[in-house]
Amino acid sequence: MNSSALPADIVPLIDAAVMEPERVIVGTGGRTSEILVAPAALLHHPAARVAPDLARPRD
């Protein structure tokens, strides 16, 4: 384990657009477990990677 609480062999992919705002909401899907963080916090996992155009824009 590491500071992100994910196993080290998991590779988190983060869309590049997520890195643009000053703060982002991260959670587990329930409103009571959401936190507001700087996008750089998502890179604490040693294998985390930023990928361009990973997500699709909403219509």
pLDDT digits (tens, 9 = 90+) for 16-28: 999 999 999 988 7
Cβ neighbour number for residue 14 with a 10 Å cutoff:
18
pLDDT digits (tens, 9 = 90+) for 4-54: 677 888 899 999 999 999 999 988 777 788 899 999 999 988 899 999 999
Q: How far apart are CA 46 and CA 7, in angstroms?
A: 10
* Residue 58 one-letter amino acid: R
Specify the pTM.
Answer: 0.74
